[in-house]
Amino acid sequence: MKNYAYLLIVLLFTATACQNEQEIDQEFNTENLDQPIILETVVGKVTTSSNKPVANASVTYEKNGTTYSSKTNNSGDFDIVIPVGEGELKVYTGTGRLYNKSLAINVEEGKNLVIDTQDLRLSMVGQIAYLGGDLDSIETVATDAGYALVEISKADIENNAIMAYDALMLNADDYSTQIESAAFYSNLKSFVETGGSLYVSSWGLEYLIGNDEYAQDCGTTRTGGFIDDFTICATRSGAPSLSINNTITDANFATHMSSTTLNLHYELEDWMQINTIDTNFWDVLVEDSAQQPLLIKTNGLYNGVGKINNGVDTPGTIFYATFQNYTEGSVLPRVDEILEYMVLNM
């Protein structure tokens, strides 16, 4: 009987000891969780491969499930306050598909970290393809600017052989034959919905909204396209001219161009003049003295009827220019800088 009593006392003591040990561990863990996070500042400057400052680039850092973020200013400079320790700093422009960079860093307590500018120099990591056209040659300008482009055909778009690319540049064409393939337009829509970006020039607007022999009014329904007609109406009504002192209305674009005005040379007969746009869908980058949009981009507000959003992916960006980039051996003034801005923001 004494043995049983002794054993019972030992078991009770052991259980109590284990319980106390468990409570101590729990208290220790709670104390660790309550420890303040030590933060320090990381600073740097983001530039292009040609050493040009990149404004509005995204800078992010993740630690223990928390994302810290910042943006570069007009000079490409940024500062971001993050926890001490080792981690990965990510820098990207636009959707991040064409330009992004990851950098392993170690932030020490009591010290700000200054990253060398060379380590933050961006180079293109994505792929761009182009569709040729009779009335423009974006690829000539892009190649001269140092970009590597792959040529695709209308059949490639119709057969959906475009998903391996991150951006498409669609040249203006004469469109003597309308595009009748529904797959052509639906594949372009899927491309943008899943993060791909487009740059379309002049008469190439057909790729976005379709056409009905370029009706000269905004009431005629365009055939084809993947963007609803109500988001933009343009007619072939522009006369060849030198359009000077157009206003750059977008602050980031103005910073990139180091100017608030832009001269544009329109050589094409009956170039596409934008009459109306849905400002819930488009942002204006450049407008003329009559506030007529000349260069626009989608603004990310894709929800709603006829908009571009599959509800899963982050859509890409569409740039549309009323002007040609390159025609008959003539390059539009400063077009390389315009193109660089578009590529950086795709």
pLDDT digits (tens, 9 = 90+) for 27-37: 334 444 556 88
Q: What span, in angstroms and rounded, lies between the C-alpha atoms of 319 and 291?
A: 18
Sign of CA dihedral 113, 117, 119, 122: positive
Pinpoint the residues of the chain covered by CATH 2.60.40.10: 39-120
Residue 41's pLDDT is what? 96
In CATH, which of 3.40.50.880, 1.10.3720.10, 3.40.190.10, 3.40.50.720 is domain 128-344?
3.40.50.880
Rg over alpha carbons for the chain, rounded to the nearest Å, is 28
According to the CATH classification, is domain 39-120 in 3.20.20.80?
A: no
- Return the structure tokens found at 195: 């993060």
pTM: 0.83
- Position 341 confidence tier, pLDDT thresholds 50, 70, 90: very high
**pLDDT tens-digit readout, 129-186:** 999 998 899 999 898 888 999 999 999 999 999 999 999 999 988 765 678 899 999 9
- Rounded to 5 degrees, what are φ and ψ at 293? -65, 135
- Return the structure tokens found at 173: 């064409």
Residue 59: burial class (beta carbons within 10 Å; 0-12, 13-18, 19+): buried
Residue 21's pLDDT is what? 36
**pLDDT tens-digit readout, 35-90:** 688 999 999 999 988 888 999 999 999 998 899 999 999 899 999 999 999 999 99
Pinpoint the residues of the chain covered by CATH 3.40.50.880: 128-344
Contact 152, 169 (CB under 8 A): no
Non-local (6+) Cβ contacts of 311 within 8 A are none
